[in-house]
Structure 1
Amino acid sequence: MKILVIEDDCTTRDFVAKGLQEHGYSVDQAEDGKKGLMMALSCEYQLVILDRMLPYLDGMKVLSAIKATETQTPVLILSALDSVEDRVDGLQAGSDDYLIKPFALAELLARVDIIIRRTHRTATAENVLIYDCLKLDLRAHRVLCHNQELALQPKEFQLIQYFIEHAEQVVSRMRLFEAIWSYHFDPKTNVIDVHVANLRRKLEDAGCNELLHTVRGAGYVLRR
């Protein structure tokens, strides 16, 4: 997943970029509106994080130009303009979210995850998720690999759903503890390793080889 950060303050820009990269995203940066718009229109991004007050080209004009394209790339405005009118203007202009400076990195990452999950989840029908050879039906609670149903335990089903929703992102053990087990601390057990190993074995037995990878020191990633 690739994100473009358009921000003229280098400290803020580097802080956001580093946080996103540690969260598993690929990040490009632009320091002014003119360069940012050129990058946004010339490359496919899953999200643009946009400051409103930019040199050379105002952020609202950048937003308007992005939203006029066929791709309709989602945009999160990150701005020190914090009045209700400012926020309403940004949202009505087409931004997908509006976060006020100063901000907590954890909140920014949560909002980024929500936008990307909402706008880029591959689905052929309501409640159906698809990634490569995998098809997950939330309503029927079934997972198919090459049209072969997998016999998954409840936590394994939750894991593969989370991996599909965050496909091609490196997911840390702590994020899995929070999302699947509702732990907000590391219980220092190998429960995740065991469940992931079992899930990987079932995928490979069904022919979905080399999809679920371990990234040493970082976590896990579902990718081709």
Structure 2
Amino acid sequence: MRTPAAPDPARFRVLVVEDDDTIGRHLESGLLGNGYAPAWSRTGAGALAEAARSPYDVLLLDLGLPDMDGLDVARTLRARFPDLLIIILTARTDDIDVIAGLDAGADDYLVKPFSLTVLLARLRAHLRRRAIAAPPQEPIRLGDLVVDVTARRCTLHDHEVALRPKEFELLAVLARHTGEAVSRESLMAEVWDENWFGSTKTLDVTMAGLRRRLTDAVARPYRVPRITTLRGHGYRLEQG
């Protein structure tokens, strides 16, 4: 697999949304010291106003804000800026909280306390994935489902299925290997990063979201591929 070049931090503007002064200052100075262009907001309302004034590439979002739920901030900014990289910073560790964050539009999450080194590695991993320029590809047709990787569109019988960015990328990898067993390690490498480290819970939550959106889209007897779990290995996409 080709390893893309490391992204240039100076290209990316990062909006930090964190009400804790110590954590906020640490993140702001750490990002600045590593070449990023950070801005820091202590409230959800302030973050929404700042994002409206100026474009950002990355949102580092604390969920426990003093004026509003961080999930509402994530939903609002995801709707306004589909390409915004959203990483949630949270002290909440229950699966339901992680699922809620990813469902709100986040690409990833970090559980507090975390080191700046880990955060910077996650940022590089996500931004490196986004920097890859893929050549145009023919749409993949699986029954009534069409996965158009070049246009980043998923349609079911000509009706678009709204997928989160990582849900689409996960489906695209499985679709390219229809009928084949794809390991968890391969999925993490292709959808997130080949140098990924830490928990793979993100994969499980993203897979659950992908399955749910495909199931919800099947209101009629369309032919939709089935995602089979291969315990101890990974997943396989099978023709519907």
For 1:80, give the aligned amino acid.
A
For 2:119, give the aligned amino acid.
L
1:66-104: per-residue Cα shift (whole Å, max 9, x none)? 011144311100011111211121112210110000001
Aligned residue for 2:30?
A: 19
Q: Percent identity?
A: 35
Aligned residue for 1:74?
A: 85
| Matches of 1:41 and 1:71, distance apart in 2 | 14
Post-superposition offset of 1:14? 0.7
Aligned residue for 1:56?
A: 67
Query: Counterparts of 1:104-115 in structure 2 under 5 Å?
Result: 104-115=115-126
1:102-140: per-residue Cα shift (whole Å, max 9, x none)? 0011110011112222235566658xxxxxxxxxxxxxx
Q: Secondary structure at the match of 1:68?
A: helix
Matching of residue 3 in structure 1 with residue 14 in structure 2: yes
Residue from 78, 81, 102 that aligns with 1:91: 102
| Matches of 2:48 and 2:126, distance apart in 1 | 20
* Structure with the greater alpha carbon radius of gyration: 1
Structure 2 unaligned regions, length at least 5: 1-11, 138-194, 196-240
Q: What is the Cα-based RMSD across aligned positions, in Å?
A: 1.9
Matching of residue 100 in structure 1 with residue 111 in structure 2: yes
Query: Across the two proteins, how many residue pairs are aligned to each other?
Result: 127
Task: Summarize the Cα distance change of 1:29–1:124 in structure 2 as closer, same or farther, 3 Å threshold.
Answer: farther
Query: Counterparts of 1:111-150 in structure 2 under 5 Å?
Result: 111-121=122-132, 125=136
Q: Secondary structure at the match of 2:72?
A: helix
